[in-house]
Amino acid sequence: MRSSGQPEICCQIDLIPKGFKRDQQPKPALDFHTILKGDILCAHLIMESQQCEESSKTGEEDTAVDEELAKAILARQFHPSVIGPETWEGYIFSGLEIRIKESTDLYGAVLWPSALVLCHFLETNRDKYNLMDKNVIELGAGTGLVSIVSSLLGAKVTSTDLPDVLGNLQYNVTCNTKGRCKYVPLVTELVWGPEVEQRFPQRTHYFDYILAADVVYAHPYLDQLLDTFGHLCQANTQILWAMRFRLDPENSFVDRFGERFHLEELYDLPSLSIKLYRAWRRDKRTDDTV
């Protein structure tokens, strides 16, 4: 009932914000876990962006290193200033001029870029791969550059290849090592496969290093080559092998090679399509043994 003579005052305060419908539910406030998830997602996005930038920079740096190294390797070669009766290619290693005569009618008597890569590595990494007084054999020596450089670095070198290549090989080795080396290199025939056991019995022949450059390409003797590596590579032997990748046989050979040997990539030169590997026997070497 109303009080006497006093009007009833009805006061209602509307606490609903302007523009908000009464049947509309307010959005729940973000809890701590939701905020944390958002922060983590944001952090991941930032990290991915930074990793992409770093990957791009690394790729650019790798390309620059590759090009610089390839340039230094190719700078080892020079051409004669005067053309004489004999054609030859010139190279500088161990501070000495090396003249290589090629025979273009024989595939194995042409110097391929992988030989330059291997020679450059041998000369610039003498602190770790010291050839002085070491027994070294080169497979598929071709023009002989790797054998010559190894001899100049003090190794006892056995330089091998097929019979039809030996004449040019012997000529290059003799002309470039005579009076320059501690040991006279031996040039001899070697046909990959079963013959290696007769020519180089393990009980009398041990090699510290097996060197090979561009011995893997589209020829039918890859199985024999693999067996030859297997026979010559003894307990503490190291293989230094440079290869130019051209076709699928190279890739499949590397896979097969890796089944029998530990394999470490030392150089990767995409600009030259060449890789340099170090390898050693799986059963009698540890990965950190040099």
Q: Could you report the per-residue pLDDT of 231-241, keeping only the tens digit for each?
A: 999 999 999 99
Asked whether 239 and 263 are in contact (CB, 8 A), the reply is no
Q: Which two tokens stand for residue 190?
A: 């070697």
Q: Which two tokens stand for residue 127?
A: 């602190």
Domain boundaries, position 273: 77-281
Asked whether 98 and 91 are in contact (CB, 8 A), the reply is yes
**Confidence label for 208 from pLDDT (cuts 50, 70 and 90):** very high
User: Is residue 25 a part of any domain in this protein?
Assistant: no
User: Is residue 210 a part of any domain in this protein?
Assistant: yes
Dihedrals φ, ψ of 243, to 5°? Answer: -145, 135
pLDDT of residue 241: 96
List, in sequence order, the alpha helices (H) in 109-247: 113-124, 145-152, 166-177, 195-199, 222-232
Percent of the chain with pLDDT over 70: 70
pLDDT of residue 88: 86
Say whether pLDDT at 285 is over 50. no
pLDDT tens for residues 93-115? 999 999 999 876 555 556 778 99
**Confidence label for 27 from pLDDT (cuts 50, 70 and 90):** low
pLDDT of residue 19: 55
User: Is residue 85 a part of any domain in this protein?
Assistant: yes
User: Is residue 8 a part of any domain in this protein?
Assistant: no
Over range 207-223, report the average pLDDT: 89
pLDDT of residue 252: 85
Tokens 């070294």 — which residue?
136
pLDDT of residue 13: 46
pLDDT mean across residues, the chain: 82
- pLDDT-wise least confident of 24-28, 72-76, 139-143, 185-189: 24-28
d(CA 143, CA 20): 91
d(CA 102, CA 100): 6
CATH number at residue 91: 3.40.50.150
Say whether pLDDT at 227 is over 80. yes
Tokens 């019995």 — which residue?
201
Over range 185-198, report the average pLDDT: 95
Q: In b/e form, how buried is each residue of 148-183, taking b as 16+ CB within 10 angstroms?
A: bbbbbbbbbbbbbbbeebbebbbbbbeebbeeebee
Query: Number of structural domains, the chain?
Result: 1
pLDDT of residue 74: 86
Between 20 and 135, the higher pLDDT residue: 135
pLDDT of residue 9: 45
pLDDT of residue 210: 99
**Confidence label for 11 from pLDDT (cuts 50, 70 and 90):** very low
User: Is residue 269 a part of any domain in this protein?
Assistant: yes
Note every long-range contact of 271-274, with CB atoms under 8 Å and residues 24 or more positions apart, other chains counting: 271/66, 271/67, 271/70, 272/70, 272/73, 272/113, 272/117, 272/244, 273/244, 273/245, 273/246, 274/113, 274/114, 274/117, 274/242, 274/243, 274/244, 274/245
Q: Is 201 helix (H, G, I), strand (E, B) or coil?
A: coil
pLDDT of residue 54: 54
Q: Which two tokens stand for residue 53?
A: 């930038």
d(CA 98, CA 180): 11
User: Is residue 6 a part of any domain in this protein?
Assistant: no
pLDDT tens for residues 247-282? 666 778 899 999 999 999 999 999 889 999 999 999
pLDDT of residue 84: 63
User: Could you count the other beta carbons within 10 Å of the beta carbon of residue 18?
Assistant: 5
pLDDT tens for residues 41-52? 666 566 666 655
- pLDDT-wise least confident of 31-45, 178-192, 228-242: 31-45
User: Is residue 106 a part of any domain in this protein?
Assistant: yes
pLDDT of residue 154: 98
User: Is residue 176 a part of any domain in this protein?
Assistant: yes
Dihedrals φ, ψ of 2, to 5°? Answer: -80, 150
AA identity, residue 100: I
